[in-house]
């Protein structure tokens, strides 16, 4: 959530930065918020004046009573009448103020985060900036490479048709060594991130509306998530939601920061608006596994912690010897809650291009305001909002797809990455491998 005071004091600057997110300037219009804010300030001023007069009347009545006036005297009666009128006016103003504040909050919740001043300016993903590439020597150059879904079905480790029977399209059954490879990847990713300093959490995967609102999925992206019909519960779209909301409505001490968490969870997304895209394979499923990284940090350290998070996610790809590149997203391609974001994209030889496997975002104080996560500095009055960061470390299915393609041999076998062999107890995957 954006700071209302910032909008009030610098509306042009805020509007200009919001406009950087889209080619259609004015999509995020601050005028309704500013109008409501002015009305709220006027009501607040009126209420303050009335309360001040009410307090003054109370003192006057006390003084006059001490001077000998009786409760029935005209001057006391007149003051009491005025006091009652003020109370009646105040009782009408209070619900008006609450309603206006609720309207302002509703509008603020629909505004995205402001892009960082260091975020490249652009209109779409074509304006994203490539920062670096890694692992060119590990690219599979076999011209007859099979897409991961074809080799996976040929090996008997991926099964899509029966998943449709069980559920619908965009689901998959992992069979035998396929299921084992998924578990191996999850365990390897968790072990690696724990070694990097993250504390593992196994959170609920059903989350309430406040949690989704806190991280920015609600209200704007309700259609992207799966909701339980009978409860205020949703299937989590990412472990970012429960991990960040562990600290919702809390005041932390400065010496608790930074807080680093990692978690494996299944993730659930409707993928609304993506129909016709990546209809085959593991790239865009309604249910997928992911290891997530979340940091709760001091504002002064968030940029450094962001770079460390990118390094932590990249380390998984490098350990697996999977070619990848790092992309800095432009203002027009930023996620809703992000002020700055780096995507890691893994090489998929069957497509001849890199595909996203992790997004590492610095959300600054945007989520902290929505979730009311603050910290107190020793020796200082008041509190500050923390900065929150999140990133995939990594999306497991997409990692598997990259392994099935980059480690694919001409005879159809799949070599198992060396770091996974202790987990999988195998050095290669063959057809009908148990």
CB atoms within 10 A of CB 204: 12
Q: Which of 17, 314, 398, 405 is catalytic?
A: 398
On the question of a cis peptide bond just before residue 282, with omega within 30 degrees of 0, the verdict is no
Q: What's the rounded Cα separation, in Å, for the pair 48 and 166?
A: 62
Q: Which of 8, 183, 270, 284 is catalytic?
A: 284
Structure tokens at 255: 């010496």
248 in active site: no
170 in active site: no
Q: Which of 314, 337, 350, 359 is catalytic?
A: 359
- Relative to beta strand 324-328, strand 129-134 is antiparallel
Q: Which of 159, 356, 413, 428 is catalytic?
A: 356
DSSP helix/strand/coil, 328: strand
Structure tokens at 55: 């307090």
54 in active site: no
Confidence (pLDDT) at 25? 56
Q: What's the rounded Cα separation, in Å, for the pair 341 and 154?
A: 37
pTM: predicted TM-score of the whole model, two decimal places? 0.93
398 in active site: yes
CB atoms within 10 A of CB 60: 15
Tell me, yes or no, if the two domains 4-109 and 125-429 fold the same way.
no
Q: Which fold has domain 4-109?
A: Helix Hairpins (1.10.287)
Domain 125-429 grouped into CATH 3.90.380.10:
no
CB atoms within 10 A of CB 401: 26
Quick one: CA dihedral 124, 129, 132, 137, positive or negative?
A: positive
Confidence (pLDDT) at 309? 98
Please give the average pLDDT of every successive group of 10 residues along the chain, which has 434 residues.
97 96 77 97 93 90 86 87 91 93 97 97 96 97 95 96 95 96 98 98 98 96 94 97 98 97 97 72 96 98 98 98 98 97 98 97 98 94 97 98 97 97 96 65
Q: Which of 17, 170, 269, 370 is catalytic?
A: 269
Task: Report the chain's C-alpha Rg in angstroms.
Answer: 28
Contacts for 327 with CB less than 8 Å, ≥ 6 apart:
128, 129, 130, 131, 342, 343, 344, 345
* Residue that is written with structure tokens 């892009």 in the block: 115
For the chain, the structural domain boundaries read: 4-109, 125-429
129 in active site: no
Q: What's the rounded Cα separation, in Å, for the pair 9 and 20?
A: 19
What φ, ψ does residue 293 adopt, rounded to 5°?
-115, 135
Confidence (pLDDT) at 273? 61
């Amino acid at each position: 959530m954006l700071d209302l005071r910032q909008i009030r004091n610098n509306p042009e600057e805020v509007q200009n930065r919001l406009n950087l997110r889209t080619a259609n300037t004015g999509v995020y219009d601050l005028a309704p918020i500013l109008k409501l804010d002015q009305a709220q300030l006027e009501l607040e001023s009126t209420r303050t004046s009335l309360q001040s007069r009410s307090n003054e009347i109370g003192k006057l009545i006390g003084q006059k009573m001490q001077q000998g006036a009786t409760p029935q005297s005209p001057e006391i009666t007149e003051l009491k009448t005025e006091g009652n009128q003020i109370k009646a006016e105040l009782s009408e103003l209070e619900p008006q103020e609450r309603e206006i504040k609720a309207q302002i909050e509703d509008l603020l919740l629909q505004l995205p985060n402001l892009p960082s001043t260091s975020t490249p300016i652009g209109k779409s993903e074509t304006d994203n900036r490539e920062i670096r590439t890694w692992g060119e020597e590990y690219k599979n150059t076999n011209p007859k490479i099979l897409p991961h879904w074809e080799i996976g079905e040929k090996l008997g480790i991926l099964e899509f048709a029966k998943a449709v029977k069980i559920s619908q399209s965009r689901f998959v059954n992992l069979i035998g060594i396929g299921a084992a490879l998924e578990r191996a990847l999850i365990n390897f990713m968790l072990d690696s991130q724990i070694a990097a300093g993250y504390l593992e959490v196994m959170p609920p995967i059903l989350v309430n509306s406040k949690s989704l609102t806190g991280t920015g999925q609600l209200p704007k992206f309700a259609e992207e998530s799966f909701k339980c019909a009978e409860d205020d519960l949703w299937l989590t779209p990412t472990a970012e939601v429960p991990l960040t909301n562990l600290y919702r409505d809390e005041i932390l001490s400065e010496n608790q920061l930074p807080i680093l968490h990692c978690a494996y969870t299944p993730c659930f997304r409707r993928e609304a608006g993506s129909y016709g895209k990546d209809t085959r394979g593991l790239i865009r499923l309604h249910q997928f596994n992911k290891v997530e990284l979340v940091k709760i940090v001091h504002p002064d350290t968030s940029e450094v912690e962001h770079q460390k998070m990118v390094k932590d996610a990249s380390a998984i790809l490098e350990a697996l010897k999977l070619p990848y590149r790092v992309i800095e997203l432009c203002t027009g391609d930023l996620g809703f809650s992000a002020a700055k974001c780096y995507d890691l994209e893994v090489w998929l030889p069957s497509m001849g291009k890199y595909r996203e496997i992790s997004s590492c975002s610095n959300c600054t104080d945007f989520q902290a305001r929505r979730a009311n996560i603050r910290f107190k500095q020793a020796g200082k009055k008041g509190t500050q909002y923390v900065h929150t960061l999140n990133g995939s470390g990594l999306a497991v299915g997409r990692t598997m797809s990259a392994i099935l393609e980059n480690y694919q041999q001409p005879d159809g076998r799949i070599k198992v990455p060396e770091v996974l062999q202790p987990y999988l107890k195998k050095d290669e995957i063959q057809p009908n491998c148990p």
